């Protein structure tokens, strides 16, 4: 029997909207996992209530951050939803982050609660308690850990916390070209407005079945995929980890798939991928990184489907999308489509003047989806907005006469590797601190699997030698694995222009064929 859920029409809590979209049959399956577990909508309702009650019982100050570094599981999604439900601020952390990275995030965000895997409890709790965190729980991907043990004693009835659209819901850390990572503050209103637009724009339906195979510590897997399915009352087939063969095998039971380009490249290598396998699919969506036109075309040939490419950022959730509905136009490979309804997008020159169609410029954006600012960085926040309130994406693009946006480059020095962002400045400053190193440069070069990967060029101090293997070993000890350059070279000097600036384009050119 379905329970009445206490929500009120003026509660702008994102969870209230997601919950209101659950189907009336709460015993229907909401999520089915790759290892055979099934969760009904009622399970999600009860579990989020229990975890929300646990958080509420901790007597946390309003606006408390709940930092989470755990392996992907349905319970981890429940923790995210329960945090919204209880009215606290969710702070997801990539599982690849190492101790120095975690120390920075916890020190900067000062979370009241940290949830980590049982395996990392020793070092994570040490960092957290030192930073003043009062509660550290564990959560593993086999439904064990102190979080669930404690929540099991809590009531499964919970009134959704009252929130306004402007209240903070999530902090997502993004690295920067200079300095340390910045916490992008997203509100309930940012995320709900974007999710509602996408529900309509992508034609989400109650009978959709989403294959969820992305990590849930970034915008793509955590927001775009989960909000989309929940807001449609659609079922999810849940993969703890992406596995191309297994995902292709499940396509016949699904209707929607979302991935970064690497996922499509890997699925294309599966002989079982065919028109027949994708016959029941309604929509394939790609984003987070540029997709090669070869991949876009090969996908069409192998499956009969035209991938829908869209563009977004941690600071803005989704910004543009190729059309879903045919009357709005065709999906054009190599473009990221049109600004979404409600999003204003301008391509401008250095003086802030819009450039004509066909000309390249900086992409700036405005809309209800654009974040509130960087956590405790008011000056940095100010710098990233134009005088008329547009957010500077750092992407360089061009609008064509029909309004399609194409991203042609980045003003920010950023490598996007397999959908993860790697900031060369962070890696370089780490390498530059190592013994014997005078300076270094990290550049992105094309890679057949990850799209782009980092390559490091290191210059030793005069009269000293450095070993590439030792540099790589030190990086591995300290940084998330996806940030480690795939190759490291020693050089006597870095190419510089007349102004003395390192010419990264020259290095990229030198190493561009290394992996392809
Ligand atoms: C893994 N490795 C990588 C990457 N992932 N190297 C470079 N780039 C990567 N992305 C390396 C590891 O360091 C390791 O190297 C080896 O590959 C195996 O690691 P493993 O974790 O087993 O790899 P995998 O499971 O094959 O992972 C590849 C993956 C994963 C499935 C493509 O990276 C992934 O899920 N990417 C999606 C990222 C994503 O969701 N991005 C959305 C961000 P070694 O053995 O040497 O240690 S949100 C966003 O960008 C915006 C808002 C948007 O628009 O969506
Ligand atoms: P993040 O900081 O993880 O939110 O990454 C955002 C960045 O990813 C954007 O500023 C773009 O540079 C890039 N990005 C996202 N989607 C696409 C796409 N479809 N094509 C090209 N780049 C993309």
In the chain, the number of structural domains is: 3
In a domain, 253, yes or no: no
- The pLDDT value given to residue 176: 62
For residue 132, the tally of other CB atoms under 10 A from its CB is 11
Which pLDDT band holds residue 4 (cuts at 50, 70, 90)?
very low
State how far the Cα of 160 lies from the Cα of 10, in Å rounded to an integer. Answer: 12
- Quick check: 320 pLDDT over 80? yes
Cβ-proximal residues to 180 (8 Å cutoff; 6+ apart), any chain: 104, 108
- Quick check: 7 pLDDT over 60? no
Q: Both 76 and 144 in a single domain?
A: yes
> What pTM was estimated for this model as a whole?
0.96
**For a substitution probing ligand 2, which of 92, 284, 289, 371 has the most ligand atoms within 8 Å of its CB?**
289
In a domain, 287, yes or no: no
Q: Both 390 and 481 in a single domain?
A: no
State how far the Cα of 163 lies from the Cα of 199, in Å rounded to an integer. Answer: 22
- Do 48 and 62 form a contact (C-beta atoms < 8 A)? no
Q: Both 65 and 174 in a single domain?
A: yes
Which of 381, 410, 439 represents a domain boundary (last residue)? Answer: 410
- Do 138 and 117 form a contact (C-beta atoms < 8 A)? yes
Q: Both 161 and 20 in a single domain?
A: yes
In a domain, 33, yes or no: no
Q: Both 477 and 341 in a single domain?
A: no
Q: What is the CATH number of the domain that holds 179?
A: 3.40.50.12780
Tokens of 417: 């590797």
Q: Both 54 and 165 in a single domain?
A: yes
**For a substitution probing ligand 2, which of 416, 419, 422 has the most ligand atoms within 8 Å of its CB?**
416
State how far the Cα of 313 lies from the Cα of 340, in Å rounded to an integer. Answer: 13
Q: pLDDT tens-digit profile of 340-360?
A: 999 999 999 999 999 999 999
Which pLDDT band holds residue 9 (cuts at 50, 70, 90)?
low
State how far the Cα of 188 lies from the Cα of 369, in Å rounded to an integer. Answer: 10
**Which protein residue has the closest C-alpha to ligand 2 atom 22?**
289
Bridge partners, residue 324, by sequence: none
Range name among 7-16, 266-275, 479-488 with the lowest pLDDT average: 7-16
Q: Determine the distance from the C-alpha atom of residue 297 to the mean position of all C-alpha atoms in its chain, rounded to a whole number.
A: 25
**For a substitution probing ligand 1, which of 93, 222, 418 has the most ligand atoms within 8 Å of its CB?**
418
Q: Both 404 and 433 in a single domain?
A: no
Ligand nearest to the CA of 94: 1
Percent of the chain whose pLDDT exceeds 90: 95
Q: Both 22 and 169 in a single domain?
A: yes
For residue 366, the tally of other CB atoms under 10 A from its CB is 19
Which of 388, 410, 432 represents a domain boundary (last residue)? Answer: 410
Q: What is the CATH number of the domain that holds 482?
A: 3.30.300.30
In a domain, 101, yes or no: yes
Q: Both 442 and 458 in a single domain?
A: yes
Q: pLDDT tens-digit profile of 118-145?
A: 999 999 999 999 999 999 999 999 999 9
Q: pLDDT tens-digit profile of 203-219?
A: 999 999 999 999 999 99
In a domain, 438, yes or no: yes
Q: Confirm or reject: Cβ of 393 under 6 Å from ligand 1.
A: no
Q: Both 85 and 183 in a single domain?
A: yes
Q: pLDDT tens-digit profile of 162-180?
A: 999 999 999 999 976 566 7
**Helix boundaries (H) for 11-117:** 14-20, 41-57, 74-86, 99-109
State how far the Cα of 12 lies from the Cα of 163, in Å rounded to an integer. Answer: 5
In a domain, 506, yes or no: yes
- The pLDDT value given to residue 10: 85
Q: What is the CATH number of the domain that holds 374?
A: 2.30.38.10
Residue 511: enclosing H or E segment and its boundaries? Answer: helix 504-511
Which pLDDT band holds residue 247 (cuts at 50, 70, 90)?
very high
Q: pLDDT tens-digit profile of 27-44?
A: 999 999 999 999 999 999
Q: Pairing mode, if any, of strands 89-92 and 135-138?
A: unpaired
- The pLDDT value given to residue 21: 98
- The pLDDT value given to residue 266: 98
Q: Both 90 and 56 in a single domain?
A: yes
- Read off the DSSP letter of residue 499: T
In a domain, 227, yes or no: no
Q: Confirm or reject: Cβ of 218 under 6 Å from ligand 1.
A: yes
State how far the Cα of 332 lies from the Cα of 366, in Å rounded to an integer. Answer: 24
Ligand nearest to the CA of 181: 2
Which of 188, 220, 241 represents a domain boundary (last residue)? Answer: 188
In a domain, 152, yes or no: yes
Q: Both 468 and 392 in a single domain?
A: no
Could you list the residue range(s) of the whole structural domain that residue 448 is in?
A: 415-511
Which pLDDT band holds residue 1 (cuts at 50, 70, 90)?
very low
């Amino acid at each position: 029997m379905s329970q009445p859920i206490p929500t009120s029409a003026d509660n702008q809590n994102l969870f209230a909207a997601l919950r209101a979209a659950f189907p009336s049959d709460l015993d229907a399956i909401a999520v089915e996992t790759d290892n055979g577990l099934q969760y009904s909508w009622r399970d999600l309702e009860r579990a989020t209530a229990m975890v929300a009650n646990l958080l509420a019982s901790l007597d946390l100050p309003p606006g408390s951050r709940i930092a989470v570094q755990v392996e992907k599981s349905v319970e981890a999604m429940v923790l995210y939803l329960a945090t919204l439900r209880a009215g606290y601020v969710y702070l997801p952390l990539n599982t690849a982050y190492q101790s120095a990275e975690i120390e920075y995030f916890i020190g900067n965000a000062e979370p009241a609660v940290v949830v980590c895997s049982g395996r990392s409890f020793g070092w994570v709790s040490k960092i957290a308690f030192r930073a003043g965190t009062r509660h550290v729980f564990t959560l593993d991907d086999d439904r064990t850990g102190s979080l669930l043990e404690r929540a099991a004693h809590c009531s499964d009835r919970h009134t959704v916390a009252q929130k306004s659209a402007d209240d903070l819901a999530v902090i997502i850390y993004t690295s920067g070209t200079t300095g340390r990572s910045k916490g992008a503050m997203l509100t309930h209103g940012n995320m709900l407005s974007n999710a509602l637009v996408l529900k309509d724009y992508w034609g989400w339906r109650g009978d959709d079945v989403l294959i969820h195979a992305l990590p849930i510590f970034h915008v793509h897997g955590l927001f775009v995929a989960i909000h989309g399915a929940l807001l449609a009352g659609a079922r999810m087939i849940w993969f703890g980890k992406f596995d191309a063969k297994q995902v292709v095998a499940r396509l016949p039971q699904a209707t929607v798939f979302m991935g970064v380009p690497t996922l499509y490249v890997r699925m294309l290598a599966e002989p079982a991928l065919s028109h027949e396998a994708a016959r029941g699919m309604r929509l394939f969506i790609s984003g987070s990184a540029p997709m090669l036109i070869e991949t876009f075309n090969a996908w069409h040939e192998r499956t009969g489907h035209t991938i829908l490419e869209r563009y977004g950022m941690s600071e803005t959730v989704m910004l543009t999308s190729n059309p879903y509905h045919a009357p709005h136009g065709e999906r054009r490979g190599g473009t990221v489509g049109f600004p979404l309804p409600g999003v204003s997008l301008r391509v401008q020159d250095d003086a802030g003047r819009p450039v004509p169609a066909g000309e390249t410029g900086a992409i700036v954006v405005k809309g209800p989806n654009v974040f509130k600012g960087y956590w405790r960085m008011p000056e940095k926040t100010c710098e990233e907005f134009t005088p008329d309130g547009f957010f500077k994406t750092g992407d360089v693009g061009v609008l064509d006469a029909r309004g399609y946006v194409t991203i042609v480059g980045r003003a920010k020095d950023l490598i996007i590797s397999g959908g993860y962002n790697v900031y060369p400045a962070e890696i370089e400053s780490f390498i530059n601190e190592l013994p014997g190193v005078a300076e270094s440069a990290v550049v992105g070069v094309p890679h057949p699997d990850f799209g782009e990967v980092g390559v490091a060029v290191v210059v030793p101090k005069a009269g000293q030698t450095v070993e590439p293997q030792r540099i790589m070993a030190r990086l591995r000890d300290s940084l998330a694995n996806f940030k480690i350059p795939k190759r490291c070279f020693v050089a006597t000097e870095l190419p510089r222009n007349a102004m003395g600036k390192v010419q990264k384009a020259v290095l990229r050119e030198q190493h561009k064929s290394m992996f392809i």
